[in-house]
Amino acid sequence: MKAYRVAGQAPFGSMRQKFSLDIVASSKSDAEHRAYSIIGSRHKANRRAIDIKSVGEIDPRTSSEPAVQHHFRDQIAAEGGKVTPVVEEE
């Protein structure tokens, strides 16, 4: 299993908004399927309405998603703990 970041656009209420999800999955297609499932169940959006722009593998130490941290907790501890993501200044 690997950590993936799925980004795209979906209808949330009466507006379309950008989203980003960190997901634990076995492949890119599995991560995409899980994103459709999560957003569809949370926001009653069907798959045709959800537009996924990118799916990429990430380092699990940079994720703030509890499910990702829990799944990779042993690996994160062995590598020296959580890495804070780099935030660009505006």
42: pLDDT strictly greater than 80:
yes
Residues 6+ apart with CB under 8 A from 3: 22, 23, 24, 57, 58, 59, 60, 63, 68, 71, 72
Q: What's 17's domain CATH number?
A: 3.10.20.10
Asked if pLDDT for residue 86 goes beyond 90, the answer is no
Q: Has residue 44 been placed in a domain?
A: yes
Q: How many domains does one find in the chain?
A: 1
Residue 19 within any structural domain of the chain = yes
pLDDT band at 89 (very low <50, low <70, confident <90, very high): low
Flag whether 72 is in a domain.
Answer: no
| Model confidence band, residue 68 (pLDDT cutoffs 50, 70, 90) | very high
pLDDT at 65: 93
User: 14 is in which domain, residue-wise?
Assistant: 2-58
Ranges of beta strands (E only) in the chain are 2-12, 15-25, 51-57
Whole-model pTM above 0.75?
yes
Mean pLDDT of the chain: 90
Task: Answer yes or no: is 63 within a domain.
Answer: no
Specify if 9 maps to a domain. yes
| Spatial contact of 69 and 23, defined as CB atoms under 8 Å apart | no
In a domain, 6, yes or no: yes
